Structure 1
Amino acid sequence: MKLGISSYSLYQAMHAGSMTIGDVIEWTAEIGASHIEIVPNLGFDFEANPELEDQIREKAAAAGLDISNYAIGGNFITETEEQYEAEIARIIREVDRVHRLGGKLMRHDVASRPDTSIARFNEDLARVAAACQRIADHAKQYGITTSVENHGYYVQASDRVQALVHAVDRPNFKTTLDVGNFVCVDENPVAAVKNNLPYASMIHIKDFYIRPSYRNPGEGWFTSTGGSYLRGAIAGHGDLDLYEILRLIKAFGYNGYMSIEYEGMEECRAATKIAFDNVKRIWNEV
């Protein structure tokens, strides 16, 4: 098992100024992780500090960590053709950054709309897929695999992710499989993980507390598309069946990177370390 940490998990500390991305890399190595996933613009910014590329690559190498995945936003639903082309060009430049960092995996978002209906998704699919094809084709020269994550509501359900992967039809375009995010669109995460494991280039381990729509827990929660209340949890503390999810991943024979992605209310260093230890323990038990 190649278990590591997403830098996003420590965003709380970076945002507060108590950790830098360099500190996050050192801390990740100290807890025994094998890799770090880089999520820019959440606690650090490459555009504001171009020297960060070299610093992160060198710091990770010195700490003995792989740079497993690089995750950025993106949206090919634009008002004009010029905006569409500009977004593709921007993400292609980020592919070049991944190459300079020494990574081989990259997640970029693809689409967001207020109207998340399946009819709208079907209308957008070909245009979104065409953009993903161009980016994957550029990434191929570096041996980089690009991917879409199941989040953002619009491209979140397992069948929509699969529809995009098949429409793109490139061997180096897959999915960053977040085991928890399916609950945001009220899909059973065990079934959804099983559906999409064959297409995964990267796995995020996450957990949620889940409450029904008629039991508003108050501050700190958000709602799924169907109205259920959700809050990020320490992996192993929430309501997902992580034992079954990790058993499925293990039985499938997945041997790629898995990242802890913590986004709860507890102090992020303690919470991320507990999540990391829980996932290691559960993996050995299933």
Structure 2
Amino acid sequence: MKLGVSTYSLYNAIQNGQLDVLGALEWLKEQGAEHAEIVPLGFDLLDDSQLAEDIRAKAEEIGLELSNYCIGANFAGLDEAAFEAEVKRVQAHVDVAHRLGVKLMRHDVASRPHAMTGTEYFEQDFPQLVEACQRVADYALQYGITTSVENHGFYLQASERVRRLVIAVNRPNFKTTLDVGNFICVDEPSLYAVQQNLPYASMVHLKDFYIRPANYNPGEGWFNSLHGQHLRGAIVGQGDLPISDIIQVVKNNGYDGYFSIEFEGMEDCLQATRIAIANARRLWEQA
């Protein structure tokens, strides 16, 4: 197991100017992170190719491995021209991943409004989603990069939909970035869902949530799951998900790849990430 952090966890510090992405890498190294996952929020690596080179150089300088590159994308409900443009855009980001020196890249696949996340829309979109993922994975193969879909966005978030897509794409270099927390956003029990998708995982995100029932509104800072539960991001190990049991299942199944902390709560992101690293390491050792 290689424990690291997604730069997404430090978005608030990057956004308010407390850190830039290069400073974030240095800070993560100081906290004992073994790798960093690059999520270009607050900066753009497609338009700023020099920044990608600078990130790679900084990581090499401080001895911090770069594990994964994560971008947004949506191939659902597009006409032919828009679909082709989106495939080409994501393929251009594969080139960025190559410049970063990573061998893993997560791109989103589909999102729709809550009212359009049902089976009828998914079945309608599915062939186009499969084609897009195949074309991106085939393009990434020249660099030895494995692409992946993450379980988020409410539409392609349930474990069965993710599993079905990975199987249908049928490429050895297309898998899933398995976020252990995100399944609760579609009200799926996390431990069961992790077991369903673990065989297809290229890497694992560690995330935690506080959960409150639909009939209790806790106020500001929370959002709703697909079916109305109230959720709020938590420091890994402090929320309501069975993180200890999840880590034990992952470890007992022989997973020895990248673990990436993701924090999206209300606490100070630097303090929260530092605590999450310590909690994750302790829980892994105890599992």
- Settle same-fold status: TM greater than 0.5: yes
Q: Which amino acid aligns with 1:23?
A: G
Report the 3-state secondary structure (helix = DSSP H, G, I; strand = E; otherwise coil) of the residue aligned with 2:273: helix
Residues 126, 167 of structure 1: 8 Å contact kept: no
Residues 49, 96 of structure 2: 8 Å contact kept: no
- Taking the aligned partners of 1:63 and 1:198, their CA distance within structure 2 comes to 33
Report the 3-state secondary structure (helix = DSSP H, G, I; strand = E; otherwise coil) of the residue aligned with 1:141: helix
Kindly provide the CA deviation profile for residues 170-212 of structure 1, in whole angstroms up to 9, marking residues without a partner as x.
0100000000000000000000001100000011000000000
The count of residues paired between Structure 1 and Structure 2 equals 285
Q: Which amino acid aligns with 2:263?
A: Y
In the other structure, the counterpart of 1:233 is 234
Deviation at 1:226, TM superposition (A): 1.1
Kindly provide the CA deviation profile for residues 72-91 of structure 1, in whole angstroms up to 9, marking residues without a partner as x.
00011244211100000000
Taking only aligned residues, the RMSD between alpha carbons, in angstroms, comes to 0.8
Spell out structure 1 runs of 4+ moving beyond 3 A: none
Q: Which amino acid aligns with 1:31?
A: Q
- Taking the aligned partners of 1:262 and 1:113, their CA distance within structure 2 comes to 24
In the other structure, the counterpart of 2:276 is 275
- Taking the aligned partners of 1:27 and 1:285, their CA distance within structure 2 comes to 26
Using the aligned pairs only, state the percent identity: 58
- Taking the aligned partners of 1:153 and 1:142, their CA distance within structure 2 comes to 31
Query: Where do residues 242-281 of structure 1 align in structure 2 (5 Å cutoff)?
Result: 242-281=243-282
Report the 3-state secondary structure (helix = DSSP H, G, I; strand = E; otherwise coil) of the residue aligned with 1:17: coil
- Taking the aligned partners of 1:70 and 1:214, their CA distance within structure 2 comes to 38
- The TM-score, its normalising length taken from structure 2, stands at 0.98
- Taking the aligned partners of 1:99 and 1:76, their CA distance within structure 2 comes to 22
Distance change >3 Å, CA 76–CA 153, structure 1 → 2: same
Residues 91, 135 of structure 1: 8 Å contact kept: yes
In the other structure, the counterpart of 2:56 is 57
In the other structure, the counterpart of 2:165 is 164
Residues 46, 96 of structure 2: 8 Å contact kept: no
Structure 1 residue 46 corresponds to structure 2 residue 73? no
Structure 1 residue 77 corresponds to structure 2 residue 70? no
Deviation at 1:146, TM superposition (A): 0.2
Q: Which amino acid aligns with 2:13?
A: A
* Between 47-56 and 13-22, the greater mean CA deviation after superposition: 47-56
- Taking the aligned partners of 2:62 and 2:252, their CA distance within structure 1 comes to 31
Q: Which amino acid aligns with 1:68?
A: S
Q: Which amino acid aligns with 2:140?
A: A
Query: Where do residues 130-149 of structure 1 align in structure 2 (5 Å cutoff)?
Result: 130-149=131-150
Deviation at 1:262, TM superposition (A): 0.4
- Taking the aligned partners of 2:173 and 2:155, their CA distance within structure 1 comes to 22
Q: Which amino acid aligns with 1:128?
A: L
Unpaired segments ≥5 residues, structure 1: none
